[in-house]
Amino acid sequence: MWLYQTGRWSKRQIVLYEYQPDRRMVHPKDFLQDFKSYLHADGYAGYHGLPEDITVVGCWAHVRRKFDEALKSIPEKSRAGSLAEKGMKYCNRLFVLEGQYEELSAEERLKRRKEKSLPILKDFFNWAHSFDEIGKSAASEMLFVMCWNRSAIFARIFWMAVWKSATTGPSEA
């Protein structure tokens, strides 16, 4: 099942479900063949083969969910100060800012994202890229390592899309 929905600032609100028997990228490519704008999407690789007229922007809720899953996998007494908690804090700071931008025009939202969100985003990705040797972490976080690796990979693959979400005005990401 494919879901297409206009953004909250669209004059005409539309939600469309398209049944397809599989998740092959040909389906959104066919459906969106005349679309030329921003596509707010999860990290599914099928969106990466869309025409250049479509700018795929990433969803921070999907990034945050990976850190939430990782945090829940750590014993409660070990969560404070963990890498998963730090990743969640970065995401939460961005969510707070997005809440402040909600009623702004696209132009003002873009301006605020560049002023306030971009520094946090740069810090987040510098931090995430610093963990190439995460397997050397303490034994208390061994269970977390499995989840972290998935979170870090997800964040790195998603890098360009979420970067665009912070540097483009119309996006709701």
In a domain, 119, yes or no: yes
Q: Give me the pLDDT at residue 164, please.
A: 56
SS3 106: helix
Residue 87 sits in a domain of what CATH number? 1.20.1440
Quick one: how far is CA 10 from the chain centroid?
21
Alpha helices in the chain (DSSP H): 26-31, 60-72, 83-101, 106-112, 118-129, 142-157, 159-167
In a domain, 79, yes or no: yes
Q: Give me the pLDDT at residue 138, please.
A: 42
One-letter amino acid at 118 equals: L
Q: Give me the pLDDT at residue 113, please.
A: 87
Domain that holds residue 163: 58-167
Q: Give me the pLDDT at residue 6, please.
A: 87
Q: Give me the pLDDT at residue 93, please.
A: 95
Q: Give me the pLDDT at residue 1, please.
A: 87
Q: Give me the pLDDT at residue 144, please.
A: 42
Q: Give me the pLDDT at residue 131, please.
A: 62
- Number of domains the chain is built from: 1
Q: CB-based contacts of 88: which residues, under 8 Å, 6+ apart?
A: 64, 67, 68, 71
Give the mean pLDDT per block of 10 residues along the chain (173 residues): 84 92 90 87 77 82 83 89 88 93 86 88 79 46 43 49 56 51
Q: Which of 137, 5, 162 lies closest to 74, judged by CA?
A: 137
In a domain, 147, yes or no: yes
What is the rounded CA–CA span in Å between residue 112 and residue 169?
9
